Structure 1
């Protein structure tokens, strides 16, 4: 989703009472429906590639027409749905949750000019640096359903129950870490007033409150259901009718949505595909309205077939990474971890997979703007140096290292695998790939049972979330997807940066934290930063682009001109 700090919310002085109704964001947003990208430019401060594409909606073919209600909107992806748990979904499920459920607010660092999108919260204020108070709308009704959940307004008790579930390690929530580390308590002051009190000032409170991966607001009765992962009941613009693993999800318009007249789409179809070839074919044969191409050349080529479509390129938080389990040999040896990284040439991935379009990135991707290390510094700190790789292997007593690594068969992962295996061979390493169907892979990844993995990633919406790959207990703070890496200096550096309210000082702290992480030879690193290349039918009006995961908040505005 995104983040808010610095000039907003938790970025204000503790002595200043501030009504937070919008304003400028200074953090990072995720990618909406794989739609992100921008021009290859250097940021004005720090030299990191800037996310410069203008955020908003795609050009329309009927700008002067009244929106039409109804129609079937069809999108797709590769991989499984893997359930629709509101607080720990990944893969396709993470595209369902943010349009069935509402959030207090939504924000995006990719689109700072959009400020804060108010959803269940009509306003928020910060009476002191450790407290945020949200005022809720009284008319956000729970969707009609067949599961016995009463149709009533969402209230502060629902909000409190939702965040308390995220804070419960048994729920395996994606958002456990920030609540466990920073939140003192949640309070439902009355039916329309909700309060968050932190242990100390924290820069990313509002960003995390709006994160689509872990901050959905769920009716408290539904939170107790054993079917929480199978079905979804919220107050959002769409009602989930069915999810068929390996098939499709069907959602329909919520006729009682609190924003009157919206959403416009009548039926929302999300199709699951086993591989890119079938996904691509579905788009070229007009079975889909939207397609995310792996690179700009394919996007342009497909326009020859789908002349009714437009190509949107925007910054992306997306990347693939290499994950190592330090509980397993040889990954407990930092010399081996460094040798493998030195054997990797990111430029080859950029040339072959990105078709020359991409960025060298450190622990924080380029789309987070000034928080990212400058590209030239990344090249210096994490160089491609096969000779050093060989020397490190020799010093570690492993000149002919052999290791196995797992990977999912979805998306374009196999393209990365082929390059990776070849680059390892060049320094004398035999890397043995073990492909897994995406469902099996993500289940084992979730439980930290893999030995090493070439991994797909969710979008990490702010620097704090992104750097939690390197802190004790890992990205979620509850041991899920955990490499086993632990370093007190890194833990302290990441926490220090997140507690700094001055934006300029916080940027410096995050850059220093990244330099420290790189020096520790971490068991997780990114191949390269990509742009998104999305093709959208011209019949789709108001498609959100360049907004990060904030785009999910604007799906209600899409309508179909057919």
Structure 2
């Protein structure tokens, strides 16, 4: 069995992870920007990651995540590294009270000159209707803020939006500018329009061609308000069927940049091919083992602890992540450079990671015996994705070593997701999305769950609920950090979810691809419109 597959879509095995890695931004690179960008050319990417729902920004989770942010404009973004606001179509945000946001847009912004919009001005009405479309869109999977916190979105005048929330909420501005929810659609496309292969925005590129899910081409929007950006004439994505086809496209210079399957592939390209540069990006995605703790045997905390200490995460890092794996608690340490996560020594101590694995397994067997769970049969669900199947095999093997009987149940991705949200499982492998805020990861430990409808693990702890709810209203970043650290210490002791590991993503580009912006991680990398090709015209 190939352990390499787990990194093909990032450690989480999700489409969203790979789309972010496909940008080739973040981490370390030796190609600095130069003072005089060249104009022209087509920047081409080859990837095996498909378009999942096409180019509709509100529902796409695949390669489209690297494409549609270049088509659509946004009011603003919040940089998760420091919570600073990065303005796009907005130029000011005022907060007259803790539950009201007044957002004023720039004058003179225009949509691309494409029917049926025809290059008209972007207005506050477009921004409001886009936000409400996201809230009401039945295909949107993660809209907790829109469904439970948002109270109203109103047009004050053609360039002013007012957003009110039901309660003070620390992540409201971030939600307004999120990569999918924040994309501004023209009002002409809000209702009854299929955006999977078309669309009109006010971003730096317009959609030029979409071919049967195998090729997408964007052309420069000459009316973009930040001219002379973008520098390239066009951007193109080729979706290929195999790693071999992806590598061939790169080696033959039919692609200028590619996401790498894993570290070994990236290192191999760097050694065998002159004139290439590799970018390394700590992954925001991660892997978890979820347990239904209101059912035997997981309703006994000794069983949950036995499983936690019996998992050989060093072996997982070695065999699955090629040594790039990193232990984690409820919040990924790669998020905001570890600002929101527990110190590594606390996490390792909770997992007894410093002890010999044989001693941990012996203690785990004793715990199972004391809980009358020796030899218990466990149904472990996993989505039918090669990356996650590999992880499930390893977890099952580890748990069999302490005497548990593991029955793997593989499901189509949609069926797995439905079961996960309903809590219809004994244990389940979770490929977590690349969350950019601690809100969603910690909500999984709240009795109300992700969306307030109930916890999928059957878990409830009043002390944890109180800390999570306190964090929602803490606008002071330092106070919120301390509250969430206190909550996470209770979470790792309760163990409704057992965290496995996070990892690293790699991408490779020819050295003539400039301004890849090393150090810009996650979705912020997708708003880098200033890449250019250092190729003589």
Q: What SS is found at the alignment partner of 1:90?
A: coil
Structure 1: gaps spanning 5 or more residues: 1-29, 39-52
Aligned position for 1:378:
347
Post-superposition offset of 1:58? 6.0
Q: Deviations over 1:452-494 (max 9, x none)?
A: 5434332111111322233356445578x95565555433322
**C-alpha spacing 1:334/1:216, structure 2 compared with 1 (3 Å):** farther
Q: What SS is found at the alignment partner of 1:197?
A: strand
The 10-residue stretch of structure 1 (524-533 or 182-191) with the greater mean CA deviation from structure 2: 524-533
In the alignment, the residues of structure 1 paired with residue 237 and residue 365 of structure 2 have an alpha-carbon distance, to the nearest angstrom, of: 47
Post-superposition offset of 1:243? 4.5
Whether 1:498 and 2:472 are equivalent positions in the alignment is yes
Q: What SS is found at the alignment partner of 2:481?
A: helix
1:105 to 63, 76, 89: 76
Equivalent residue pairs, number: 504
Aligned position for 2:47:
76
Q: Deviations over 1:53-78 (max 9, x none)?
A: 7xxx8624x82544222324224243
**C-alpha spacing 1:472/1:360, structure 2 compared with 1 (3 Å):** same
1:153 to 105, 109, 121: 121
In the alignment, the residues of structure 1 paired with residue 429 and residue 250 of structure 2 have an alpha-carbon distance, to the nearest angstrom, of: 27
Q: Is the 8 A contact 2:467 2:487 kept in 1?
A: yes
Post-superposition offset of 1:352? 2.7
Whether 1:123 and 2:92 are equivalent positions in the alignment is yes
Q: Is the 8 A contact 2:49 2:239 kept in 1?
A: yes
Q: What SS is found at the alignment partner of 1:88?
A: coil
In the alignment, the residues of structure 2 paired with residue 34 and residue 414 of structure 1 have an alpha-carbon distance, to the nearest angstrom, of: 26
1:559 to 516, 532, 536: 532
**C-alpha spacing 1:210/1:396, structure 2 compared with 1 (3 Å):** farther
In the alignment, the residues of structure 1 paired with residue 150 and residue 94 of structure 2 have an alpha-carbon distance, to the nearest angstrom, of: 17
Whether 1:346 and 2:318 are equivalent positions in the alignment is no
Larger radius of gyration: 2
Mapping for residues 380-529 of structure 1, pairs under 5 Å = 380-383=349-352, 385-394=360-369, 395=371, 397=373, 399-410=375-386, 412-433=387-408, 440-442=412-414, 444-445=416-417, 448=421, 451=425, 453-472=428-447, 474-475=449-450, 485=459, 487-522=461-496, 524-529=497-502
Aligned position for 1:138:
107
In the alignment, the residues of structure 2 paired with residue 229 and residue 332 of structure 1 have an alpha-carbon distance, to the nearest angstrom, of: 44
1:307 to 271, 274, 293: 274
In the alignment, the residues of structure 1 paired with residue 77 and residue 21 of structure 2 have an alpha-carbon distance, to the nearest angstrom, of: 12
Post-superposition offset of 1:284? 4.1
**C-alpha spacing 1:37/1:154, structure 2 compared with 1 (3 Å):** closer
In the alignment, the residues of structure 1 paired with residue 365 and residue 394 of structure 2 have an alpha-carbon distance, to the nearest angstrom, of: 18
Q: What SS is found at the alignment partner of 2:164?
A: strand
1:531 to 475, 500, 504: 504
Q: Deviations over 1:224-243 (max 9, x none)?
A: 12414453332222223455
Aligned position for 1:211:
178
Whether 1:319 and 2:303 are equivalent positions in the alignment is no
Q: What SS is found at the alignment partner of 1:456?
A: strand
Mapping for residues 186-225 of structure 1, pairs under 5 Å = 186-225=153-192
Q: What SS is found at the alignment partner of 1:545?
A: coil
Q: Deviations over 1:238-286 (max 9, x none)?
A: 2234555662333322232222233223332223355555544544444
In the alignment, the residues of structure 1 paired with residue 128 and residue 136 of structure 2 have an alpha-carbon distance, to the nearest angstrom, of: 12
Q: Is the 8 A contact 1:82 1:92 kept in 2?
A: no
In the alignment, the residues of structure 2 paired with residue 131 and residue 33 of structure 1 have an alpha-carbon distance, to the nearest angstrom, of: 37
In the alignment, the residues of structure 1 paired with residue 210 and residue 273 of structure 2 have an alpha-carbon distance, to the nearest angstrom, of: 28
Structure 2: gaps spanning 5 or more residues: 1-18, 354-359
Aligned position for 1:13:
none
Mapping for residues 212-291 of structure 1, pairs under 5 Å = 212-243=179-210, 247-274=214-241, 276=243, 278-291=245-258
Aligned position for 2:65:
94
Q: What SS is found at the alignment partner of 1:107?
A: strand
In the alignment, the residues of structure 2 paired with residue 559 and residue 327 of structure 1 have an alpha-carbon distance, to the nearest angstrom, of: 55
Q: Is the 8 A contact 2:42 2:236 kept in 1?
A: no
In the alignment, the residues of structure 2 paired with residue 333 and residue 93 of structure 1 have an alpha-carbon distance, to the nearest angstrom, of: 43
Q: TM-score with structure 1 length normalisation?
A: 0.79
In the alignment, the residues of structure 2 paired with residue 129 and residue 455 of structure 1 have an alpha-carbon distance, to the nearest angstrom, of: 35
**C-alpha spacing 1:241/1:472, structure 2 compared with 1 (3 Å):** farther
Post-superposition offset of 1:530? 1.9
Aligned position for 2:524:
550
Post-superposition offset of 1:192? 0.6
Whether 1:177 and 2:144 are equivalent positions in the alignment is yes
In the alignment, the residues of structure 2 paired with residue 446 and residue 299 of structure 1 have an alpha-carbon distance, to the nearest angstrom, of: 35
Q: Is the 8 A contact 2:24 2:258 kept in 1?
A: no
Q: Is the 8 A contact 1:323 1:525 kept in 2?
A: yes
Mapping for residues 13-24 of structure 1, pairs under 5 Å = none
The 10-residue stretch of structure 1 (287-296 or 308-317) with the greater mean CA deviation from structure 2: 287-296
In the alignment, the residues of structure 2 paired with residue 444 and residue 220 of structure 1 have an alpha-carbon distance, to the nearest angstrom, of: 35
Q: TM-score with structure 2 length normalisation?
A: 0.82
Q: What SS is found at the alignment partner of 1:116?
A: strand
